[in-house]
Structure 1
Amino acid sequence: MTDTALQQDRPDPGTQGVRRFGRVNWLGLRTLAERETRRFLAVWTQTLLAPLVTAGLFLLIFTLAVGTRRGEVMGVSFLHFLAPGILMMTVIQNSFANVSSSIVISKVQGNIVDTLMPPLSAAELVAGYLAGGILRGVVVAAAIMLVLFPFIGLGVQNPVMALVWVILGGAFLGSLGIVAGIFANKFDQIAAITNFIVTPLSFLSGTFYSLETLPPVMQALSHANPVFYLIDGLRHAVLGVSDSSPWLGLAVVATATLAVAALGWWMFRTGYRLKS
């Protein structure tokens, strides 16, 4: 073989590391995101209607049980104080469930290979799964704001920041859902993670109370919980009141989201608990 032929057979050094469809597989990423979206829309009564009903029941029960006897909290009525917390709690639980259940079901059914074999990088897999989880959280939040908030006479002071906090909430718990879904090999394990990690993070984060009522030790523990900043930030966007600085909350939640998403990226990159 001539030297010219050898040179033609060698790959161009300038093209090494560049995939034929570009540095980002936009078609594959869009397909994965669309699959995750169609997945929860196909059973909308469970994924969208049920969270709306649950949030409404929370507000109804607290209205009947406490009513006006609770008085104001942070200068607003107790019912209005509750609403943003319940909204964020619903968002993060649904975002987590959307991502984690998708991965676990694929592993249990043995078709996770259909997601891993296409030319998608680890970052694209993380982004595709997160797209479905975030969108489900945003749709649930919009339904609660449009249907339930008018019934309790509540508006949104800063809709743009409210959307930012909802997206951050979906991204953080969606990233946690990726990690949990990859780690779990059966439904019992994902249920344990939901019951012993996600639910306590949601309930013990200022959803139903202000941190001002807690002893110093509990306040310190709450400030170490990223979900507290999600609820407090959304409360500030909706009501204009908060327990801490919204800018501090943005920094904490963004850092926590990047850290958990990076862990999910590493799991996909190495095939941790995905390849046998």
Structure 2
Amino acid sequence: MGMRRFGRVNWMGLYTLSAREIQRFMAVWTQTLAAPLVTAALFLGVFSLAIGPTRGEVMGVPFVQFLAPGILMMTVIQNAFANTSSSIVISKVQGNIVDTLMPPLSPGELLIGYMAGGVARGVFVALAVGVLMLTVLGMGIAHPVWAFVFVVLGAAFLSALGIVAAIFANKFDQMAAITNFIITPLSFLSGTFYSIERLPPTMQTITHFNPVFYLIDGVRYGIIGQSDSSPWLGLVVCTASTGAVMALCWYWFRKGYRLKA
């Protein structure tokens, strides 16, 4: 492809798409930002009342403090995925996906533009839940940089995964099936509510092949300073997984797979 008249990168188009994706969830912030915060608070409240007093310490901290980073990352995962997947599926169902495909945007620009909304929503939700943890639970952050890196990686990975799911799905019920049978189990069964040391050896081995486990474990290390695996290993696995999913998104955007009539 030769040099486009507005340069190698269409900065105006990229900014416009990114701004649209961010404004989509900001326009309904009570649903996209406040609701996840309430859900996280309910999880913490219920587990604290039902299990917290009798569970004892996990990884050297009270159970609720062990639980909080997992719930934070679970919330990031679900919201980052929902942002990109809902945007593309709605456009496909309504038949206006062509309005995004027709402008002079390269596959990479489409990918980054859509992901910008998912990453922004994931980070905003993480900040809201983080403030809740700091104020209500009185928790500190052991390694802020690690925590931030894994939050951003988690939001990027699930944003890209949301694009893959939305390109593949043609109807809302197909998207709901992917969410209910893949994304929700991944977020619940990756160490969110427990240390994988409690799992049988075979399940521990299987869990170590799940990138979401490393995201949750990495954020837990960043917040409480303890984890089931090395954060460096988690960083490598999550970065590689994110890169692989982004490459698939780029390829599908380039080919127009399940997007062009």
TM-score (norm 2): 0.99
Alignment pair present for 1:202 and 2:196? no
- How far off is 1:74 after superposition? 1.0
Structure 2's unaligned 5+ residue stretches are none
1:94 aligns with 2:79: yes
State the Cα distance separating 1:126 from its structure 2 match: 0.4
Partner residue in 2 for 1:6: none
Q: Secondary structure at the match of 2:228?
A: coil
> Aligned to 1:223, which of 208, 228, 237?
208
> Within 2, Cα distance between the matches of 1:168 and 1:39?
21
**1:21-57 Cα shifts (integer Å, max 9, x gaps):** 1111111001000000000000001000000000000
**SS of equivalent residue, structure 1 residue 241:** coil
- What residue is the counterpart of 1:169 in the other structure? 154
Of the three residues 165, 175, 184, the one matched with 1:190 is 175
Partner of 2:60: 75
Matched residue SS, 2:191: coil
Unaligned runs of at least 5 residues, structure 1: 1-15
> CA RMSD for the aligned pairs?
0.8
1:114 corresponds in structure 2 to 99
Note if contact 1:29-1:120 (Cα within 8 Å) is conserved in structure 2.
yes
Distance in 2, Cα, partners of 1:208 & 1:224: 18
1:123-202 equivalences in 2 (<5 Å):
123-202=108-187
> What's the secondary structure of 2:2's corresponding residue?
coil
Distance, in Å, in 1 between the alignment partners of 2:145 and 2:12 is 29
Aligned residues: 261
1:258 equivalenced with 2:223 (yes/no): no
1:245 to 2:230 alignment: yes
> What is the distance in 2 between the residues matched to 1:204 and 1:83?
15
1:62 alignment partner in structure 2 = 47
| CA distance in structure 2 between the aligned counterparts of 1:152 and 1:193, rounded to whole angstroms | 34
TM-score (norm 1): 0.93
Percentage of matched positions with identical amino acids? 70
Which residue of structure 2 lines up, in the alignment, with residue 24 of structure 1? 9
Runs of 4+ in 1 over 6 A off after TM superposition: none
Residue aligned with 1:20, SS = coil
CA–CA separation in structure 1 for the residues paired with 2:215 and 2:237:
9
1:150 maps to a residue whose letter is: T
